[in-house]
């Protein structure tokens, strides 16, 4: 049998298995993307298959299960996006317009039309840089009707949510899309939901995101901001630092990729994506709160401490640091290495769930 024939036979087997997978998903409640990835993570690592490849398979299977009628019977809503010409604002405008909603945009030169654009809107979505969010909320609140739903999609939640509750008497909710503006749909993407007031007024929006394959994670603004210190701020700093270092030493990135490990290629892809963004966005995410700045400073001190041990070639001290950390991750490492037929590791962080939101 030729290689071509073997490839065709393999493809036929894959297609049959994917058909079985889709049927199984359709016949039961679908586990989250994280759970599906955790189930096969050891096998992916052993086979040298990037996690992103399997994530694409999982997302594509899910896409086939989205009802074709999910967007055919949408009641058109009047929506205004403040900052709708920015990249994230444009993404939400496109996605909401595609299913039939009437979406208007208010930019910094449009405030003379604010009464018309905001007063009659059913939903006002604030999508502006972090440092302007609270001021924009205060300014917009003067024009809002008492039933207008006000929502922000910035990556900090405590201060914007407090401002919306203080300055607007109507429905309030904070959202944080856990993805960049380059995605094509909400399929497989996470959106953090921070309830504020009159949550039912946002149910149609949450239902829309979920119907498109998005995953909703409900927590308080305080829980969100605590987690984002680690999930976003310190990670941005790590990748930002690595990118600056590679530029300073003038590494030939393409040559390095020719002899790279899968982990290195994945890391370089992440760094490239970071530096393809607007620099203001990256820097604002790191500087958004005092807690983020303090955590980054602590992380930098940890780097410095370990670097000093390396400079001194203190092998014993480095091994001790490794073993101390190894004990912290021991349970998670064991779960990762355990056979695939065991129960996947559950998350340590379990946000407080608000049962008044149907997701």
Q: What is the pLDDT of residue 355?
A: 39
Q: Is residue 46 part of a domain?
A: yes
Domain span including residue 121: 75-219
Give pLDDT tens digits for 154-170. 999 999 999 999 999 99
Residue 346 has pLDDT above 80, yes or no: no
114 and 200 in a common domain: yes
197 and 121 in a common domain: yes
Q: Which of 171, 202, 219 is the last residue of a domain?
A: 219
Q: Is residue 345 part of a domain?
A: no
250 and 135 in a common domain: no
**Residue 144's domain is classified under what CATH number?**
3.40.50.720
Q: Is residue 331 part of a domain?
A: no
- CA–CA–CA angle 335, 338, 342 (5° rounding): 90
Q: Is residue 70 part of a domain?
A: no
Average pLDDT, the chain: 86
131 and 248 in a common domain: no
Give pLDDT tens digits for 198-255. 999 999 999 999 988 899 999 999 999 999 999 999 999 999 999 999 999 999 999 9
194 and 293 in a common domain: no
Q: Is residue 293 part of a domain?
A: yes
Q: Which of 38, 65, 92 is the last residue of a domain?
A: 65
Give the global pTM: 0.75
Domain count of the fold of the chain: 3
Give pLDDT tens digits for 238-251. 999 999 999 999 99
Q: Is residue 110 part of a domain?
A: yes
190 and 55 in a common domain: no
213 and 231 in a common domain: no
Q: Which of 202, 219, 236 is the last residue of a domain?
A: 219
207 and 83 in a common domain: yes
191 and 236 in a common domain: no
112 and 141 in a common domain: yes
Q: Is residue 359 part of a domain?
A: no
302 and 240 in a common domain: yes
Q: Is residue 356 part of a domain?
A: no
231 and 306 in a common domain: yes
For the chain, the maximum distance between any two Cα atoms, rounded to a whole number of angstroms, is 74
């Amino acid at each position: 049998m030729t290689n071509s024939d073997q490839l065709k036979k393999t493809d036929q087997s894959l297609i049959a298995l994917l058909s079985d997978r889709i049927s199984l998903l359709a016949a039961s409640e679908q586990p989250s993307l994280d759970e599906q990835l955790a189930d096969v993570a050891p096998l992916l690592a052993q086979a040298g298959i990037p996690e992103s490849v399997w994530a694409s398979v999982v997302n594509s299977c899910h896409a086939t299960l989205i009802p074709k009628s999910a967007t055919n019977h949408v009641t058109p809503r009047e929506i205004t996006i403040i900052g709708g010409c920015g990249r994230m604002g444009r993404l939400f405008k496109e996605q909401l317009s595609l299913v039939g909603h009437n979406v208007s945009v208010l930019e910094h030169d449009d405030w003379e039309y604010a009464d018309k654009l905001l007063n009659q809107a059913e939903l006002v979505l604030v999508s502006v840089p972090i440092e302007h969010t609270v001021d924009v909320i205060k300014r917009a609140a003067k024009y809002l009707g008492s039933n207008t739903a006000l929502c922000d999609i910035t990556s900090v939640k405590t201060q914007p949510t407090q401002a919306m509750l203080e300055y607007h008497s109507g429905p309030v909710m904070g959202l944080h899309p856990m993805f960049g503006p380059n995605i094509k749909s909400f399929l497989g993407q996470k959106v953090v939901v921070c309830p504020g007031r009159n949550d039912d007024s946002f149910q149609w929006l949450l239902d829309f995101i979920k119907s498109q394959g998005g995953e909703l994670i409900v927590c308080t603004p305080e829980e969100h901001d605590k987690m984002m210190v680690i999930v976003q701020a310190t990670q941005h700093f790590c990748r930002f630092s690595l990118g600056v270092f590679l530029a300073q030493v003038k590494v030939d990135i393409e040559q390095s990729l020719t002899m790279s490990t899968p982990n290195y290629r994945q890391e370089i892809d992440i760094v490239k994506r970071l530096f393809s963004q607007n620099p203001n966005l990256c820097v604002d995410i790191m500087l958004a709160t005092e807690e983020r700045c303090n955590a980054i400073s602590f992380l930098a001190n940890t780097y410095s401490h370990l670097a000093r041990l390396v400079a001194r070639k203190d092998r014993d001290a480095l091994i001790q640091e490794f073993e101390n950390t190894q004990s912290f991750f021991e349970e998670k490492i064991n779960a990762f290495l355990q056979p695939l037929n065991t129960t996947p590791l559950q998350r340590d962080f379990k946000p407080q769930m608000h049962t008044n939101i149907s997701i």
